[in-house]
Amino acid sequence: MPHSSYIFHACGGKLSEVSVEKVLLPPDRETSPQAIQHVKAPDSTVYANLAKA
């Protein structure tokens, strides 16, 4: 995972940097790092979790 405090966001032909807080997800032998679940909370916070295989 890059050590920057932003991600790239593309929309409508425009690419921009969006400030984020990145955290490393803990390892889980029963999941696939290729399958990630995202949930957006009412306050626009986005949570990510490794999905079960």
Q: How do the pLDDT tens digits run along the chain, 53 residues long? A: 456 788 888 889 999 988 888 777 777 777 666 777 788 888 888 887 777 65
Spacing of C-alpha 35 from chain mean position: 11
Model pLDDT, residue 15: 93
Tokens of 7: 């991600």
Place of tokens 């696939």: 32
Model pLDDT, residue 50: 72
Place of tokens 């803990």: 26
Model pLDDT, residue 14: 92
The pTM of the full predicted model, rounded to 2 decimals, is 0.44
Model pLDDT, residue 41: 84
